[in-house]
């Protein structure tokens, strides 16, 4: 799948691009089956909701085989990402975010790069996020919300964090939220949009785009697979575990999977 000049310019201007009908049902069903197993395996990459029981995220950048690992190199996902990045890429991070019906908590407004710069020593925001919709995403089940064009503001200093710096707060990014005043200023310069779409859609967005998501108020689960691609020359200087930060810097090549 090749992006056209209009799509590339839209991403440059607004910092995000939503493509529909990217992945078929057969591919998605295989991913779902693999996720069932991952949820049953105790792992340091599991992050729970505030209730201490419900899975919020599974970080699995260490995976080298299986359908999730293949998804990283799938031509339908990787091809557009390479165009948007404009460089060879390696896998920086792979995770699945779960929002269970009625129990999935919100994600506060934040940017990604300031987090990776501080925690991983990543020097440049030369990355692109690819978010695969594993369920239909609606207004009610906690869609990602973005502020179009907010990436042009660069990395903003997060508000002071007063809670405990537990593993959950570090991994889930609770230490890197934007203040209400910062979000208001970004909204005045851009517009807030909701990334809504059918299962199999893919949302691409820049690591400096301000984004959040609300609680899941519906009776429908909302699962997203987030793949972060990074310029092969843009490497972290700090060493977090591989399930959080990929360490294979060989350029990824788009492959066709049946």
Q: Which domains does the chain have, with CATH numbers?
A: 5-231 (2.60.120.620)
Q: Please check the confidence at residue 28 and state whether its pLDDT lies above 60.
A: yes
For the residues 132-144, what does the mean pLDDT come to? 95
pLDDT at 55: 87
CA distance 142 to 219: 11
The helix/strand/coil state of 118 is helix
| CA-CA-CA-CA dihedral for 5, 8, 13, 17, to nearest 10 | 130
Burial of 36 (0-12, 13-18, 19+ CB in 10 A): exposed
Among 181-190, 196-205, 211-220, where is mean pLDDT lowest? 211-220
For the residues 74-85, what does the mean pLDDT come to? 98
pLDDT at 163: 52
Q: Please check the confidence at residue 234 and state whether its pLDDT lies above 90.
A: yes
Q: Greater confidence, 170 or 44?
A: 44
Mean pLDDT for all residues in the chain: 91
Q: Please check the confidence at residue 172 and state whether its pLDDT lies above 60.
A: no
pLDDT at 142: 92
Per DSSP, 188 falls in state H
User: In this structure, are residues 89 and 252 in contact, taking their beta carbons and an 8 Å threshold?
Assistant: yes
Q: How many percent of the chain have pLDDT more than 70?
A: 94
The helix/strand/coil state of 59 is strand
How far from chain centre, in Å, is Cα 15? 14
CA distance 220 to 100: 7
pLDDT at 216: 85
Q: Which of 63, 66, 65, 60 is nearest to 46 (CA)?
A: 60
**Prediction pTM value:** 0.94
For the residues 23-28, what does the mean pLDDT come to? 95
pLDDT at 190: 92
pLDDT at 69: 94
For the residues 201-212, what does the mean pLDDT come to? 97
pLDDT at 161: 52
Beta strand pairing status for 89-99 and 55-59? antiparallel
User: In this structure, are residues 201 and 22 in contact, taking their beta carbons and an 8 Å threshold?
Assistant: yes
Per DSSP, 157 falls in state P
pLDDT at 189: 93
Q: Please check the confidence at residue 143 and state whether its pLDDT lies above 80.
A: yes
């Amino acid at each position: 799948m090749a992006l056209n000049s209009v799509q590339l310019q839209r991403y440059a201007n607004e910092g995000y691009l939503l493509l529909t009908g990217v992945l078929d049902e057969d591919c998605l069903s295989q991913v779902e089956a693999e996720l069932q197993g991952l949820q049953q395996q105790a792992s340091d990459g599991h992050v729970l909701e505030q209730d201490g029981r419900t899975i919020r995220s599974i970080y699995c950048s260490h995976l080298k085989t299986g359908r999730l690992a293949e998804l990283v190199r799938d031509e339908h996902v990787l091809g557009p990402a390479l165009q948007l990045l404009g460089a060879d890429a390696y896998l920086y991070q792979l995770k699945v975010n779960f929002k269970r019906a009625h129990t999935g908590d919100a994600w506060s407004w934040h940017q990604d790069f300031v987090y990776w710069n501080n925690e991983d020593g990543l020097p440049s925001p030369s990355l692109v996020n690819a978010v695969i919709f594993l369920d239909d995403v609606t207004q009610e089940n906690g869609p990602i919300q973005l502020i179009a064009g907010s990436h042009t503001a660069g990395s903003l200093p997060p508000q002071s964090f007063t809670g405990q710096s537990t593993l959950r707060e570090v991994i889930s990014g609770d230490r890197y939220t934007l203040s209400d005043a910062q979000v208001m200023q970004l909204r005045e310069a851009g517009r807030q949009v909701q990334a809504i779409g059918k299962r199999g859609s893919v949302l691409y967005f820049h690591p400096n785009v301000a984004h959040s998501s609300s609680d899941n108020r519906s009776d429908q689960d909302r699962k997203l697979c987030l793949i972060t691609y990074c310029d092969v020359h843009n490497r972290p200087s700090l060493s977090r575990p591989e399930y959080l930060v990929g360490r294979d810097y060989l350029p990824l090549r788009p492959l066709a999977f049946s």
